[in-house]
Homo-oligomer: A and B are copies of this chain.
């Protein structure tokens, strides 16, 4: 069957691999030039943290080794207090569990190579979708080119052109909600050829209303991202103001950022949006148009699940095609059940922003995390924290929430929590 995918980003490329493996002829249309060619422009460069859902999807295609080889494992968070004190907080009771830092561009190149190496996959760059007729399957591109398809899948991100067409149809619900926060990327370069901070951690500077994070890169630099209220970002309009704020609020990082002012002034402000759409597909006669990944459910980055969720979408759609004998209209209908899961992670991602920028610095929060890990160790396979289930399992997101609710009720009922809290605190104290 011939399938058209709009968008050759992370999810579009991975989906092409899954579909080609099923024997379909896949054409990918991408509005940008080929990122593997020299001089190709950026797009979003924010670092990603690939965790179990993403790794599981890659593993099914034999791509996990190559991706993890280009990534840096981060088994925990390193909190930077205002006075420079560092606190390492493991993500899991299992020391082998880590999330994996990788640049979006590098990951996209690996997936593009993988897709183009599959039989039957064709990628057309510099093809920006400008028109889609969901009744005839006619596609129009900015270049003037046209095409026709019976199956069109929009993997074209938060500002999806495919979704723009679906949204205009009666009966398609849609919602976009921006945070009052923007993000801006900065850099901590290597120091004397080495990492300037511990590379095995996701660094966080929680500052109440605002925060900065930093993820390690293979070249021994760190990509830092500020998540600040838009007004705060705009207020730093002189080198003096930029330096003064960083010296006051991020003093340890400030020392490590020689290019701070230059990068702050040159780099654009990104926006943080949650988008919800329902349904994700429309079938009209012979033609089916559907959405996947950010095009269907863009989320904010604070749980590190955007790409992981999009990759899991591909696994789930592959499963729906199994169940329906590769009938795309029926498979995309089945795939709609996944909305229960993507709605959950959208909410958790928003909630986690408050946790990251504010709560992670508090003693109570840290004690709670230690309690959770103590419970996990005491009750292996029976108790698992929300973070554990989201990041280190492939339990559906909605089932994660049901399980977390059950566990809390049970822990409260047995009073076990209090006992283990005491034990956990004691043990931690002993270890110090």
Contacts and interface: CB of A to CB of B under 8 A. Distances in A.
Contact of A174 (B170, B175, B230, B271): B175
Nearest to A277: B176
B167 A172 contact: no
Nearest to A176: B174
Interface in A150-200: 159, 167-168, 170-178
Contact of A170 (B170, B172, B178): B178
19 contacts: A159-B168, A167-B176, A170-B178, A170-B271, A170-B273, A171-B178, A171-B230, A171-B271, A172-B176, A172-B178, A173-B176, A173-B177, A173-B178, A174-B174, A174-B175, A174-B176, A175-B175, A175-B176, A175-B177
Given A167-B176, A170-B273, 11 more contacts: A170-B178, A171-B178, A171-B230, A171-B271, A172-B176, A173-B176, A173-B177, A173-B178, A174-B176, A175-B176, A175-B177
A269 to B, nearest CB: 9
Nearest to A171: B178
Interface in A336-373: none
A172 B176 CA distance: 8
A382 to B, nearest CB: 40
A35 to B, nearest CB: 23
A178 B167 CA distance: 11
A87 to B, nearest CB: 35
6 cross-chain pairs, A with B, having the tightest CB-CB distances, nearest first:
A170-B271, A175-B175, A173-B177, A171-B178, A174-B176, A173-B178
A136 B77 CA distance: 46
Quick one: which of A159, A167, A171, A230 has the most chain B CB within 10 A? A171
A273 B174 CA distance: 11
Contacts of A174: 174-176
A294 B172 CA distance: 18
Interface residues of A, number: 15
Nearest to A182: B170
Contacts of A271: 170-171
Contacts of A273: 170
A174 B172 CA distance: 13
Contacts of A230: 171
Contacts of A168: 159
A64 to B, nearest CB: 35
Nearest to A159: B168
A159 B174 CA distance: 13
Contacts of A171: 178, 230, 271
Nearest to A272: B170
Interface in A266-311: 271, 273
Quick one: which of A167, A170, A171, A178 has the most chain B CB within 10 A? A170
Contacts of A167: 176
Contacts of A176: 167, 172-175
Nearest to A170: B271
Nearest to A276: B175
Contacts of A170: 178, 271, 273
Nearest to A275: B174
A167 B176 CA distance: 9
A183 to B, nearest CB: 12
Nearest to A274: B173
Contacts of A172: 176, 178
A177 B176 CA distance: 12
A284 to B, nearest CB: 15
Nearest to A180: B171
A327 to B, nearest CB: 22
A175 B167 CA distance: 11
A174 to B, nearest CB: 5
Contacts of A159: 168
A164 to B, nearest CB: 9
Nearest to A174: B176
Contacts of A173: 176-178
A172 B173 CA distance: 17
